[in-house]
């Protein structure tokens, strides 16, 4: 192992991906029970899932939007106007 990354949140996983792409052997350590850090789905009830962490991206967040595109992930619109 050339590099040890502590934490398997989005930043740690992205760092590991970039290092791996450069041919550098990495080891990712995570103390929690899942990877992704604060990006996690929560089961509310049968068939109903809600977001339990980091969930919004928007204009100006070019790096995370590029990563979403690179990984083939998708987003959906969130409406912020009107009565809440």
Model pLDDT, residue 18: 95
pTM for the whole thing? 0.71
Could you tell me which residues are beta bridge partners of residue 20?
none
pLDDT value of position 31: 95
What is the model's pLDDT at position 74?
A: 81
Mind listing the pLDDT tens digit of every residue in the chain (84 residues)?
Answer: 999 999 998 899 999 999 999 999 999 999 998 888 888 888 888 888 887 777 788 889 998 899 889 988 888 777 777 776
Q: Give Cα separations from 72 to 29, 55, 56, 65 (angstroms).
A: 25, 17, 17, 11
| 39 and 68 Cβ atoms separated by less than 8 Å | no
């Amino acid at each position: 192992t050339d590099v040890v990354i502590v934490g398997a949140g989005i930043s740690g996983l992205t760092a590991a991906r970039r290092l791996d792409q450069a041919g550098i052997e990495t080891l990712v350590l995570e103390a929690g029970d899942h990877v992704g850090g604060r990006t996690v789905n929560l089961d509310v009830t049968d068939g109903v899932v809600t977001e339990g962490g980091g969930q919004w991206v928007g204009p100006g967040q070019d790096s995370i939007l590029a990563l979403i595109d690179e990984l083939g992930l998708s987003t959906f619109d969130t409406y912020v106007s009107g009565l809440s």
